Structure 1
């Protein structure tokens, strides 16, 4: 039995932070104490301001819930270093996170043990970052955190979604995974109305609302969320069509354009096709310019008009 109460309390708090819910029996076994001791220690945590909720029923137990204030967290060495580095680089693709990240980093570094502070300092001194002006769609941090919690807890959420046609439509889904790709965030979820898997861009999501209803986790199609989302993005409909036959090896084109693998099809060792279709004309022009080799193009009229205008502008600038 663990008789050192402060050590036991810290161990109990650490357990509550590592999993969504624990039964009283599981906690008692982990701490080598009785169920009565667990209940007393839970009450002590509540007195210290930790919002520990108790659930009833056959699967009842304890969970660390959200409260009015942020209580102290327990981090092991690797978690503390990872968090410090992540805060230093901030969160790409999120709106207004830079200043908040620096404030949180200052608080963390103030309490880091000296042995960890040296690791973090070494990483920071040997790493440089280039900050680019944000031009792509940005995601509100609150939206990301709500959906991340719903994925973790297998909780159904509702939200409004901006469709490709520009309309707002309500959605009710079972969130499964968040996937970041190409500066965008995607939610992979099972749509309850369509009874099928769907992918949603987070910059088009508004008003995500947890319903309080949890469901059993579903098996992701193919078993790999990132691979599934990648394959669907590559085949998703776009506003403008542009397919180039490129006089260069497929691997060369992939390295120059960073195009998804499913968008490039080798024809022979020195020729391939590239599907450069996109929702914006400048994006298509950017992809084609990155080829830096000869190609023929099969594209929609607006794409051809945009490329001619861009080329004429470039020629006038050189005269």
Structure 2
């Protein structure tokens, strides 16, 4: 007997080939009992597929009108993982790969069952992507709950492990108006208005546990500066401003802005010469950010440690070839 996931996929495929399937015939095609068939039908319904049933000797099953969707059977974690992965690819890579990722992302979201589609679209609309982001280090359920609260403008309560302050490591309860999800480097952050501290705060999602909506809606406030990603990045880099450097990039301004995302600031544009100031906490990310520009770069102002790191990577790469 096939496993549950593959059997459910085949069941959905069969339901799309006929308007009506007698229960006995459908169970026979799947090589399962009537009881197992009923459980599989319920699983499809739980995933959001509209399957109608009729009882009696001539009873059976059929997909409701308008329910002939492509057979994409995934659970919530899998749906969120696909949206995150394709969204990251679309924002990280350029050219045809980025366009293909965005096209695939749109198609995947469209063929998800209604309930999962709403969750996935909540995540897409609530997230600000930035370059160089990697796979999230948080649970899919946390991402989905937070994203849905942002979409619905619903206040959240959650546990949060403090890093600094008077009691580092303490598990605190927070009451927040969630505004935006932001990816920076390898981390996900929630930008929200802390109702207990009466100020804006960013929360690392890998330290956030048990988010629960309070059913209390709020009117979204305006983020200071109007840019959620820039506000979060500024807060992170504000804890360590030891690595700041300025470069001149020979490339069209549009190309440069697309590559630097929220990681840099365009200071000056003169034709195809774009002056950009970067801030970073990690030398490796700084070097990668320069390489990621994929254009001729001149270091205008840079600390000696960055110049040394670039020279070290140059020698490593030269040794490889």
TM-score after normalising by structure 1: 0.50
Q: Which residue of 1 aligns with 2:158?
A: 158
Question: Offset at 1:293?
Answer: 0.4
Distance 1:281 1:147, change over 3 A: same
Question: Offset at 1:286?
Answer: 1.0
Question: Offset at 1:282?
Answer: 1.6
5+ residue gaps, structure 1: 1-68, 95-104, 113-133
Question: Offset at 1:309?
Answer: 1.8
Question: Offset at 1:251?
Answer: 2.3
Which one scores higher on RCO, CA 8 angstroms, separation ≥ 6? 2
Cα deviation, 1:96-152, whole Å, max 9, x if unaligned, reads xxxxxxxxx9xx99x99xxxxxxxxxxxxxxxxxxxxx9554221132234345544
| Aligned 8 A contact 1:190 1:197 in 2 | yes
Are 1:230 and 2:229 counterparts? yes
Counterpart pick for 2:279 among 266, 277, 280: 277
Question: Offset at 1:191?
Answer: 0.8
Aligned residue runs from structure 1 range 37-186, under 5 A: 72=46, 74=48, 77=66, 87=79, 90-92=82-84, 136-148=135-147, 150-151=149-150, 152=152, 154-161=154-161, 163=163, 167-168=168-169, 170=172, 172-179=174-181, 181=183, 185-186=188-189
Are 1:189 and 2:192 counterparts? yes
| Aligned 8 A contact 1:187 1:201 in 2 | yes
Structure 2 residue matching 1:303: 3-state secondary structure? helix
| Aligned 8 A contact 1:176 1:218 in 2 | no
Structure 1 residue matching 2:201: 3-state secondary structure? strand
Are 1:252 and 2:255 counterparts? yes
Separation in 1 of the partners of 2:143 and 2:257? 30
Alignment RMSD:
4.6
| Aligned 8 A contact 2:243 2:279 in 1 | yes
| Aligned 8 A contact 1:243 1:273 in 2 | no
Distance 1:194 1:243, change over 3 A: same
Separation in 1 of the partners of 2:71 and 2:177? 26
| Aligned 8 A contact 1:176 1:189 in 2 | yes
| Aligned 8 A contact 2:182 2:228 in 1 | no
Q: Which residue of 2 aligns with 1:58?
A: none
Counterpart pick for 1:316 among 311, 316, 319: 319
Aligned residue runs from structure 1 range 287-298, under 5 A: 287-291=289-293, 292-298=295-301
Distance 1:312 1:246, change over 3 A: same
Cα deviation, 1:265-299, whole Å, max 9, x if unaligned, reads 22422333323322322211111112320311433
Separation in 2 of the partners of 1:307 and 1:178? 35
Distance 1:81 1:138, change over 3 A: farther
